[in-house]
Structure 1
Amino acid sequence: MSLPEGFITQGQEQKVCKLNRSIYGLKQASRSWNIRFDNVIKSYGFDQNVDEPCLYKKINKGKVAFLVLYVDDILLIGNDVGYLTDVKAWLEAQFQMKDLGEAQYVLGIQIIRDRKNKTLALSQATYIDKMLVRYSMQNSKKDLLPFRHGVHLSKEQCLKTPQEVEDMRHIPYASAVGSLMYAMLCTRPDICYAVGIVSRY
C-alpha cells in the first residue's frame, strides 16, 4: 500500500505501508472474509460441502443444521429450533450480525413455507414478471408448456440481410436468453430444453 499524501517523509518516498488486515472494498477483501468465516465456522464443528463450498452442515445427536453463505448473507436451516438458536447465538458472539428472522426472500427467490402440509417451495415470480416488463413481453400469451410442439428453429431463420442485422442490434436477445438461464438454473428446470434451443441461434 502506498503512503497517502502528507505522510511521505523527505528522502523516504519509496517506503510503503504494511497492510495488516483487508480493507473493505479491495478485491481481496471478499476472499479474506471468506477465509475468516470458513475457519470460524469449522471451529464450531460445521463441515463444508465438497461440491458446494458455500454450504456447511453440522449434525449433533440427530439435530441437523445447514448454513448457506452468500458473500455476507447467511441462511440457517435445520430440524430443531433450539439447535438453530444456539448456532445463531454462537455466530453473534463471533461476528457483528443482525438476525432478520424467518427467511422470506433469498437472492430474489421467494421462500414459500406451508407448515400445515410441511412443504417448502421456491418461486421467482417477481423476477420473471420484471423480466417480462424489461423485454416488453408482459402482454404475451401464457401457455402450459415453455416450448410449443412443432416449432423448429434452424440456421436458415438466422439474420441474412444487413438491414435484419441492424434491426436486431436494438433487440437485447442475448440478454433475454441470459435472464431465462438464471431463472432456469434457480427454480425453473422445466424450461431447460427451450432455453437451450433459443440460445443456439
Structure 2
Amino acid sequence: MKKDPCPPLPLHTPDSKLKQRLAPLRTQGRSSGITLHTGSLEIFTTFFSHSAYVSTFELRDVSHALSDPNWVNAMHEELENFERNHVWDLVEPLPNCRPIGTKWVFKNKQGENGMVMRNKVRLVAQGFCQKEEIDYEETFAPVARLEAIRILLTFAASKGFKLQQMVVKSAFLNGFIEKEVYVRQPSGFESAKFPNWLRKALYGLKQAPIAWYARLKSFLLKSGFVMGSVDKTLFLLSRGGDTMIVQIYVDDIIFGGSSHALVSSFAEQMSREFEMSLMGELQFFLGLQIKQCPEGTFVHQAKYTRDIFKKFEMGDSKPMTTPMSTNTALDADEDGEAVDQKEF
C-alpha cells in the first residue's frame, strides 16, 4: 500500500482539564534559572528582568510547550493574530476536502548580544502536501539583494537621510489567497473535528510569499509610491520637492526621506493598514550592524564575528594582522575533500 505523504493529524476535542490547564498558564511566569557569569551590571539586570517573561530554551515538541507558560502565552498570541486578521473560518468538512496539516514552530528571538528577547511561535501549514495548479499557482516573490541594501545605505548617507526600520507583525497573514485551501486546527487547540477554511495566507503555504508581496505592493502603489524598474522591492515617493525611499525585505521595511513629516506620515499609514513594530533608527539588518552618524554610515559585523569565533572555538586565539603569511603560495588540492567555502 502506498503511504500517504501527508498523513492526517490527530484531532481531539479539548476536555475541561485542558481548558483548566491552559487558562492559568497565560498569566504565570517562570524564571529560566540560567545565571550570567560575565557582562556588565546592565546586561545582568536586563537578563533577569526578561527571564521572568521568556523561556531561554527552544522546544520542538508541542506537548512540552503546553507545559511551559511562556510558550503557551506565545501560542495564544499567534492565534490571536489569526483572529485579528480574519485568517480562517471553522467550517464543516466537505465531501472531497483534504485539509493540509499544521505544525507549531518555536524560536527564540535574540538581540545583538545574544540575549533571548522574545519567545516567538509560528503556526505553519505543511505546504509540501499542496499540489500545483490545484492548491496554488505562483509562488515566487522578489526579495531585496544584499547589494541593494548596501546601495540604499550609501544613497541615504549621501543625501543625509536617517534610515528607519519597521517590521510587519505576522506579515504573511495579511496576504489574500485565490485558491480554496483548508487546514487542520493547531495541535493542542482543537475545538471540533472540523477543518479551517483559509481566507488569507498562512506561513508554510506555497503561495504565502507572493500573496503578502502583492498585498504590500498594492498598498504602496495606492499611496503614491513608484516601484523601481529593476529592483521590485524598492519604492520611491516624491511630494512637494521632498523624496522618500522604501526598501522591503519580506516583512522588514527600511525607509527614510528628506522630510521628517513625510517619513512620520508614512509610518502612521503603515500602522493603520498593518500591525507594525516600529524599530526606530536602523541599527541591525541581515547580520549587518549599522551606525548612522553625521560623518557617514558605518557598517560592521562584530556579532557575526563573535559567533564565528564561538562556533569554531577560537575565542582564546591571539589576534593577528593577517591570518597567515602573505607570501605563501597555495595550489588547489585536486584529491582533497570539497568544503563549503561560505562557512568560512
**Residue 24 of structure 1 aligns with which residue?**
202
Q: Contact (CA 8 Å) 1:131, 1:179: kept in 2 or not?
A: no
For residues 77-115 of structure 1, the C-alpha deviation after alignment (integer angstroms, 9 at most, x for no partner) is 222211100111121222221212222212232111223
1:48 to 227, 234, 239: 227
CA distance in 2, matches of 1:145, 1:64: 43
Counterparts in 2 of 1:61 and 1:148: CA distance versus 1, 3 Å? farther
CA distance in 2, matches of 1:33, 1:56: 16
Secondary structure of the structure 1 residue equivalent to 2:304: helix
1:149 to 303, 326, 329: 326
1:110 to 276, 286, 289: 289
Gaps of 5+ in 2: 1-8, 12-90, 100-179, 182-197
Mapping 1:127-146, distance limit 5 Å: 127-144=304-321
Counterparts in 2 of 1:53 and 1:179: CA distance versus 1, 3 Å? farther
Secondary structure of the structure 2 residue equivalent to 1:127: helix
Deviation at 1:34, TM superposition (A): 0.5
- How many pairs align? 159
Secondary structure of the structure 1 residue equivalent to 2:269: helix
TM-score (norm 2): 0.40
Counterparts in 2 of 1:148 and 1:37: CA distance versus 1, 3 Å? farther
Deviation at 1:150, TM superposition (A): 2.0
Whether 2:225 is the aligned partner of 1:61: answer no
CA distance in 1, matches of 2:305, 2:222: 40
For residues 46-102 of structure 1, the C-alpha deviation after alignment (integer angstroms, 9 at most, x for no partner) is 122233322222122332211121111111122221110011112122222121222
Counterparts in 2 of 1:51 and 1:134: CA distance versus 1, 3 Å? farther
**Residue 121 of structure 1 aligns with which residue?**
298
Q: Contact (CA 8 Å) 2:234, 2:247: kept in 1 or not?
A: yes
Whether 2:342 is the aligned partner of 1:178: answer yes
Q: Contact (CA 8 Å) 1:63, 1:80: kept in 2 or not?
A: yes
Gaps of 5+ in 1: 160-164, 181-201
Counterparts in 2 of 1:28 and 1:148: CA distance versus 1, 3 Å? farther
More moved, 48-57 vs 119-128:
48-57
Counterparts in 2 of 1:138 and 1:80: CA distance versus 1, 3 Å? same
Counterparts in 2 of 1:108 and 1:155: CA distance versus 1, 3 Å? closer
CA distance in 1, matches of 2:233, 2:321: 35
For residues 11-56 of structure 1, the C-alpha deviation after alignment (integer angstroms, 9 at most, x for no partner) is xx22579346333212211210011101111111212223332222
For residues 113-133 of structure 1, the C-alpha deviation after alignment (integer angstroms, 9 at most, x for no partner) is 223x3x111111111221122
Q: Contact (CA 8 Å) 1:112, 1:122: kept in 2 or not?
A: yes
Secondary structure of the structure 2 residue equivalent to 1:27: coil
CA RMSD in angstroms, aligned pairs only: 3.0
Counterparts in 2 of 1:145 and 1:83: CA distance versus 1, 3 Å? farther
Counterparts in 2 of 1:152 and 1:24: CA distance versus 1, 3 Å? same
Aligned letter for 1:61? Answer: G
Counterparts in 2 of 1:94 and 1:14: CA distance versus 1, 3 Å? same
**RCO higher in structure (CA 8 A, sep ≥6):** 2
Q: Contact (CA 8 Å) 1:111, 1:121: kept in 2 or not?
A: yes
Q: Contact (CA 8 Å) 2:236, 2:244: kept in 1 or not?
A: yes
CA distance in 1, matches of 2:211, 2:332: 48
Secondary structure of the structure 2 residue equivalent to 1:100: strand
CA distance in 2, matches of 1:179, 1:113: 29
More helix by share: 1
**Residue 96 of structure 2 aligns with which residue?**
14
